[in-house]
C-alpha cells in the first residue's frame, strides 16, 4: 500500500514560476502491463460467460481504469459481474506481474536523464502501481504516485492530472504528460497540459499536431522534453 508519506514526498516544493512537472502514466508508459491486464481481464469476463475477447479489450479497455472497463461491459451486456470478479482479477494480475512484467524498453535510461520534478498519475490502483514499479526497478525514480481511485472520474476526464498537479504544487499549463492512450491524451488536453504520446509501433504512428507530440522510442523522451521546455516554457 502506498503510504501518505510516500504520496506526499516533495509535494509543494516546486511551485516556482519556470518549473516544469512531468506527469507519467504507468501502464504502457513505464511498464509493459497492457498485454497482461487485457489477457487476464478477458479471461475473467469469459469465465463469467461474457462474450469478450482480446480484440474487444484492445478496442475498449486501453487507457481506462479497471472499474471503468467493468462498467462498460456491464452496460454493453446489461448484466453485472459477480461480487468476486474484481478480487479474482486483482489476484491473477498480481501473480502475473510478479512472474513476467517488464519495464518499457529504454524507459529507465530516459528517467535517469530527466531532471525535472516528476510523478505518476495512473488509472490503476495504488497497490498495482507500487507492485509494478517494484518488480521493474522503477519505483525509486518517483516520490509521488497518484491513482484514479483518489478522484471521482478517471480518464478521459482530467481529474487525475489536475489532482496530481495541485498536490505537486504546479499550475496545469506547466505540466507535461507522458501517455500511451487516446483517453490519456484527452485527459491531458482537458486539463490544459501538454501531452506526449508514446506509440511504439511505427505502423500506427500518426502525425504530430500543435497539441500532441508523438514518438515511438523512450530513448527520445529526454530530448523531446528539453526541446519542448526550451520552446514553450523558457
Strand ranges, E, within the chain: 21-24, 118-122, 145-147, 175-179, 194-198, 213-215
Which positions ≥6 away from 127 have C-beta within 8 Å?
A: 1, 2, 90
pLDDT tens string, the chain, 234 residues long: the values are 444 434 433 333 344 445 899 999 999 999 999 889 899 999 999 999 999 999 999 889 987 888 899 999 999 999 999 999 999 999 999 999 999 999 999 999 999 999 999 999 999 989 999 999 999 999 999 989 999 999 999 999 999 999 999 999 999 999 999 999 999 999 999 999 999 999 987 554 455 567 899 999 999 999 999 999 998 766
> In the numeric block, which cell numbers belong to residue 184?
490519456
**Statement: 4-32+102-233 belongs to CATH 3.40.50.1000:** yes
As a whole number of angstroms, the distance between CA 5 and CA 3 comes to 5
Buried b (16+ CB within 10 A) or exposed e, 146-171: bbbbebeebbbbbbbbbbbbebbbbe
Quick one: CATH architecture of 34-100?
A: Orthogonal Bundle (1.10)
- Sorted by where each begins, the domain ranges of the chain are 4-32+102-233, 34-100
Amino acid at each position: 500500500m502506498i503510504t501518505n508519506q510516500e504520496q506526499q514526498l516533495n509535494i509543494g516544493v516546486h511551485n516556482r514560476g519556470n518549473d516544469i512537472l512531468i506527469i507519467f502514466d504507468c501502464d504502457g508508459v513505464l511498464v509493459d502491463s497492457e498485454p497482461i491486464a487485457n489477457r487476464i481481464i478477458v479471461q475473467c469476463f469469459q469465465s463469467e460467460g461474457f462474450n469478450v475477447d482480446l480484440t474487444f479489450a484492445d478496442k475498449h479497455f486501453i487507457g481506462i481504469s479497471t472499474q471503468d472497463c467493468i462498467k462498460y461491459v456491464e452496460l454493453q451486456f446489461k448484466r453485472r459481474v459477480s461480487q468476486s470478479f474484481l478480487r479474482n482479477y486483482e489476484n491473477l494480475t498480481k501473480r502475473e506481474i510478479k512472474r513476467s512484467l517488464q519495464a518499457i524498453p529504454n524507459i529507465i535510461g530516459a528517467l535517469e536523464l530527466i531532471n525535472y520534478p516528476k510523478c505518476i498519475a495512473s488509472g490503476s490502483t495504488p497497490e498495482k502501481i507500487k507492485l509494478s514499479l517494484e518488480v521493474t526497478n522503477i519505483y525509486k525514480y518517483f516520490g509521488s504516485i497518484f491513482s484514479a481511485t483518489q478522484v471521482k472520474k478517471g480518464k478521459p476526464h482530467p481529474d487525475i492530472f489536475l489532482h496530481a498537479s495541485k498536490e505537486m504544487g504546479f499550475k496545469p499549463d506547466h505540466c507535461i504528460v507522458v501517455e500511451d492512450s487516446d483517453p490519456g491524451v484527452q485527459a491531458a488536453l482537458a486539463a490544459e497540459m501538454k501531452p506526449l504520446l508514446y506509440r511504439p509501433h511505427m505502423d500506427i504512428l500518426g502525425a504530430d499536431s500543435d497539441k500532441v507530440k508523438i514518438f515511438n522510442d523512450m530513448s527520445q523522451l529526454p530530448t523531446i522534453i528539453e526541446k519542448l521546455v526550451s520552446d514553450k516554457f523558457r
